[in-house]
Structure 1
């Protein structure tokens, strides 16, 4: 199965640029209600994924203790708080089984093209739905929605 069928394209995905401020990042995550969001460069390269935890750890770090307001935190950029890329991207040619393996630890899987440019995400929900349909092929769509 080609994962392009499950791809939520970049145009429909909320993401942050790595040069966005700390405040802009928090506001975008809050607005969309996300716990993690992809981070890309201005040229479109996938940089990583930032999570609520990344923001929280930065707020609690010793370096940030001198900052007292959100206004002060505007000096920080999203790239400054990335703590390592735990959401590893995949290429569009990945198999569904490999995608399932990634989905065990991530809410979504970032998808990049051959040059490393971010093209979208595949959600864990869509992966689970695919495998549920494979296993329970005779189950009705209405019953499947209740499961997923």
Structure 2
């Protein structure tokens, strides 16, 4: 089974452009109750994942930075402490599972590294659970 079976397409998820501001990220993450969001560049390429922790570290380590002036800081200026490595659309379930151990979601890209969506850990766990239940019945 490949990634396409689990893919949540880009149009159905929250992501941010790396030129978005910290304030936009904070507000969007709060509104959707997300702790991490994929980042893409102007060409639609996946460039990383921004986390609440990344934003908090930037706030803590930047003298004079407050919530009110986070609108002056672009996400490209925020260091990413966690690297959510993407998989390509033709990856297999085994490739996803190893990443899901440490990532809430796995970004999916096409052959040109264009971001096309994510696979959430929840769907992978549900799939594995169904497989185990089927084996139990047999």
TM-based fold match above 0.5: yes
SS of residue in 2 equivalent to 1:39: strand
Deviates more, 1:93-102 or 1:10-19: 93-102
Deviation at 1:103, TM superposition (A): 0.1
Q: Distance in 1 between matches of 2:108 and 2:22?
A: 24
| 5+ residue gaps, structure 1 | 141-148
1:108 counterpart residue number: 105
**Cα shift at 1:74:** 1.6
> TM-score, structure 2 length as denominator?
0.93
1:52 match: 52
Aligned match of 1:34? 34
The count of residues paired between Structure 1 and Structure 2 equals 137
CA contact under 8 A between 1:92 and 1:111: conserved in structure 2? yes
1:94 offset after TM fit, Å?
1.1
Alpha-carbon separation, structure 2, partners of 1:55 and 1:19: 14
Question: 1:66 maps to which residue?
Answer: 64
Superposed, which structure 2 residues align to 1:1-148 within 5 Å? 1-61=1-61, 64-67=62-65, 69-84=66-81, 86-137=83-134
Whether the aligned pair in 2 keeps the contact of 1:48 and 1:82 (CA below 8 Å) is no
Greater than 3 Å deviation, 4+ residue runs: none
* CA-CA distance at 1:117 after TM superposition: 0.5
How far is the alpha carbon of 1:70 from its aligned partner? 2.5
TM-score when normalising by structure 1: 0.87
RMSD: 1.6
